[in-house]
Amino acid sequence: MIYSIKQAFKQFFRNGAMSTASVLSITAILLILGLFFLLIVNVSNIAARVENDFDSIQVYLLDEADEAAADYIMGAIKAMPEVQEVEFLPREQAMEDLKAKFGDKAYLLELRQDNPLPNSIMIRVGLIEDADKVVEYVRAFEGIEGINYYKETVERLIKLNRFIQYAGLMVIFTLVIISVIVVSNTIKLMVLAREREIGIMKYVGATNWFIRGPFLVEGILIGLISAGVSVGIVAFIYYKIEEVLGTDLLVMLSSGLVSHRFMIENLAAIFAALGVSIGACGSIISMRRFLDT
């Protein structure tokens, strides 16, 4: 074990150019992988937030419906097990919200003296699939002007999110396989350079694991160094993105990026595991041919 580690470090530095080359290639691959990871996590995050914002059903009440009628309807809706939250939204509040949304252009709304918006009830369902049922139930009540909800939009969003996740996974999977090939080629070259030595080791009675050990450790070393470097670069890029976007764009999206601490910690753990397995697989694959007796 100690022998393996010592040998691995010796080999790593003795074949400096080769080690550097493979560390660079794997770093590049992990970098792309890391950026994909950032993308996927953030898209999921934004999708979750948007989903949260849009998965409410807005029930517009007729002007003649009084507070008692509204209370009655709300009580009935609240009793449904599918419903998570019910909230009364008075027309004045609706106007305020609209003005806030318009921001600089709020004066346009001032052009009208009266408030054309009706009172409404906001319903939040636990599962978007239940929205139809709730809408059907609510429609039966008197005093309702109309119902507005974005089931299709939300469903489409969920689909898009899922697609990005699957596509991302495919890309990540492909990149991992490419890195295994890169490592295995590097190790193969190193094994070739030491073929004679390995032959002698076998004649003297070294077990396959004894011969494999140093190369295995070396592969893992290459993987780990690549992981470290790429996590560093990805972290730097993420800080920069946060810095640039942080002020305006993110406010518009009404959802911030996933915190860099959460991102980097997870990325470091994932990459460390990935680096170790890429290195280990690469070296074991490349040594197979040399060790079958």
Q: What distance separates the 2 farthest-apart alpha carbons in the chain? A: 99
Smallest distance, Å, CB 1 to another protein? Answer: 10
Q: Minimal CA–CA distance to 153: which of 161, 141, 145? A: 161
Smallest distance, Å, CB 9 to another protein? Answer: 15
286, with CB counted inside 10 A (0-12, 13-18, 19+), is buried
State which residue, 201 or 272, has the beta carbon closest to another protein. 201
d(CA 25, CA 94): 56
How many other C-beta atoms can be found within 10 angstroms of the C-beta atom of residue 27?
23
Smallest distance, Å, CB 272 to another protein? Answer: 30
State which residue, 3 or 262, has the beta carbon closest to another protein. 3
- Binding of another protein by 174 (CB under 8 A): no
Smallest distance, Å, CB 18 to another protein? Answer: 16
Chain centroid, CA 138 distance in Å? 37
Smallest distance, Å, CB 199 to another protein? Answer: 8
Q: Which spans in 120-206 are helix H?
A: 131-139, 151-193, 195-204
Smallest distance, Å, CB 12 to another protein? Answer: 15
State which residue, 178 or 201, has the beta carbon closest to another protein. 201
State which residue, 75 or 199, has the beta carbon closest to another protein. 199
State which residue, 174 or 207, has the beta carbon closest to another protein. 207
Tell me if 223 sits within 8 A of 184, measured CB to CB.
no
Smallest distance, Å, CB 210 to another protein? Answer: 6
State which residue, 24 or 200, has the beta carbon closest to another protein. 200
How many other C-beta atoms can be found within 10 angstroms of the C-beta atom of residue 80?
16
State which residue, 1 or 249, has the beta carbon closest to another protein. 1
Eight-class DSSP state of 106: G
User: Parallel, antiparallel, or unpaired: how do β-strands 144-148 and 83-89 relate?
Assistant: unpaired
Tell me if 41 sits within 8 A of 258, measured CB to CB.
yes
Scan residues 191-230 and list those touching another protein (CB under 8 A): 196-197, 199-208, 210
Q: Collapse the DSSP code of 26 into the 3-class scheme (helix H, G, I; strand E, B; otherwise coil) and give the result.
A: helix
Residues in touch with another protein (CB under 8 A): 3, 196-197, 199-208, 210, 293
